[in-house]
Structure 1
């Protein structure tokens, strides 16, 4: 499990999902081949300089935290798979650090959280209709290579929307 990169006073916590008990594939957040997370952070203006996965521990100094919403996958009667988000520990750590915004790194991550708290799954990118642990929520398009069907300029623009939202809230990028 990758350690949370969290502390009080963050502009934003970016949250993905992770299967509980499964070891990470890489020793750093968003380090998989084809993942454009760090490129999107820089191109959107969320960070002032290009970073690499090995720099992930620098993100809190730049006002950005990273964590995952853990989920348990259960099989019901051997054929139906049920995803159970572990919402309570996720919300507890977010309440402790109280970021200005909680941004999900994909609609999938936002949907897992929304269903876990009884909200409707988001149908668009941008601000959510629900709060996340008492903080404004935001949905970003995923940075992974699996999302390469979305043109990079559009992904950058949608990540820039998060930077703009933080500026509106008084947390300069």
Structure 2
């Protein structure tokens, strides 16, 4: 008998209550684990159906086509107005152009008016026949012109990947 006289009875009740709760929760735990397993399987299927587009060491694309554009904007206001247009286009590209592997804008460390756009496609046709003919891309070009968004110059360059390095590390 314990100090208070009924500890053993109390501990027995707690053990029985704990066992009962464990029995009630077991199906939920199994269901949760099953849901995660099925979810992971389905996610892998979706990634594969998108041509392997994934984060952290996804499918390689030997010979991918890279296209860069370097803009020098007239003013910070022009640059910021262009960024607003680019953001809309980038969201469209992510949702509607599965052959576009990367589509990113970056500002120069040394010149706030200089912007580099980095585009990566499975091949040149993905740029010429899909991206550059999309209604959203053409709309952006028209809006930039009609709104008077100015840049001093633009330099473009195209490349083919040699599949010698990596784009992202696996983590």
* TM value normalised by structure 1: 0.21
Higher Rg: 2
Higher relative helix content: 2
* TM value normalised by structure 2: 0.21
Higher relative strand content: 1
